[in-house]
């Protein structure tokens, strides 16, 4: 006689139903949580770099970079002195030193030109610093180059100008801080994990997101609306950030799945 076996799948159906419920509730949460983490990673990997041990010094490094950048363009009494100190001709050196001491910037420029050290010179006052600085920056890379065979002598306002530009340090990071806050999903500041100088109220909102969490295939798209963002966040750093967050998301999803399965699965069937 053939054996008839009836399988009771009610317990399995319950497990699957619970798992589907778990998935529906948890996947969007995971996506939102890790999208925020990605925004934080992107902020910290945007120059000035603020990952790990560099976080505390990032603002200082950024400000130093700004000062060095501007110093490539303009000469001041201090940097002109360094040129004089390197002059080998003693007669010329003494002549230049007297001009430095007198503070006669026009005469200094004329003398440098007369001896063939430069082809042209220009005296730049406070009102012309920003435009001249911008003219010496590459529109593609954002890097500043030192003028060749020309000399721009800052006659006033260079220190305040440097400080003004230094206040913008962190602006490029702030776009990702904006995204992190818009994504949310955590108690308190959504941009936590990003240095305070990159979340300053001095920086206007510059990040935007598309929130697709509630769809059948949950996603978040984040965008930095800063025009030079790609120049200070290399593709290699974007991929690194994505890899780190993806691994964290998979690890957490596996842990939560195992916990849910363990909660809803009874390995010892009850006797009929």
Q: In this structure, how many other beta carbons lie within 10 angstroms of the beta carbon of residue 64?
A: 14
Q: 50-103 pLDDT, tens per residue?
A: 887 566 688 888 888 889 989 999 998 888 888 889 888 899 889 889 988 988
Q: 188-224 pLDDT, tens per residue?
A: 999 999 988 888 665 566 889 999 888 878 889 999 8
Q: Is 57 helix (H, G, I), strand (E, B) or coil?
A: coil
Q: Is the confidence at residue 121, as pLDDT, over 90?
A: yes
The average confidence (pLDDT) of the chain is 82
- Using the structure block, give the residue that is written with the tokens 């290399």: 234
Token pair of 177, please?
A: 């801080």
Give the pLDDT confidence score for residue 54 in this predicted structure.
61
* Between residues 78 and 138, the one the model is more confident about: 78
Report the alpha-carbon distance of residue 255 to residue 249 in Å, rounded: 10
Q: What is the mean pLDDT of residues 6-30?
A: 63
Give the pLDDT confidence score for residue 201 in this predicted structure.
60
Report the alpha-carbon distance of residue 131 to residue 68 in Å, rounded: 17
Q: Is the confidence at residue 4, as pLDDT, over 50?
A: no
Identify the band that residue 12 occupies on the pLDDT scale cut at 50, 70 and 90: low
Identify the band that residue 140 occupies on the pLDDT scale cut at 50, 70 and 90: low
């Amino acid at each position: 006689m053939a054996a008839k076996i009836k399988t009771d799948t009610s317990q399995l159906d319950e497990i699957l139903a619970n798992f589907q419920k778990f998935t529906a509730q948890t996947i969007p949460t995971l996506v939102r949580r890790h999208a925020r983490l990605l925004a934080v990673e992107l902020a910290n990997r945007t120059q000035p770099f603020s990952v790990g041990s560099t976080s505390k010094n990032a603002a200082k490094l950024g400000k130093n970079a700004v000062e060095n950048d501007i110093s490539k363009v303009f000469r001041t009494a201090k940097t002109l002195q360094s040129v004089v100190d390197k002059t080998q001709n003693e007669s010329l050196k003494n002549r230049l030193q007297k001009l430095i001491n007198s503070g006669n910037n026009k005469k200094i420029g004329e003398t440098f030109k007369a001896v063939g050290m430069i082809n042209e010179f220009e005296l730049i006052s406070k009102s012309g610093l920003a435009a001249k600085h911008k003219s010496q920056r590459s529109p593609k890379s954002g890097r500043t180059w030192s003028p060749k065979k020309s000399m721009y002598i800052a006659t006033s306002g260079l220190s305040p100008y440097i400080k003004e530009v230094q206040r913008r340090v962190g602006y490029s990071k702030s776009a990702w801080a904006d995204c992190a806050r818009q994504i949310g999903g955590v108690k308190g500041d959504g941009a936590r994990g990003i240095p305070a100088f990159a979340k300053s109220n001095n920086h206007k909102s510059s990040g935007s997101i598309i929130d697709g969490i509630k769809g059948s295939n949950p996603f978040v798209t984040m965008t930095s609306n800063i025009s030079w963002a790609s120049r200070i966040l290399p593709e290699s750093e974007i991929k690194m950030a994505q890899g780190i967050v993806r691994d964290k998301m998979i690890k957490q999803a596996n842990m939560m799945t195992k916990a849910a399965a363990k909660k809803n699965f009874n390995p010892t069937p009850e006797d009929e």
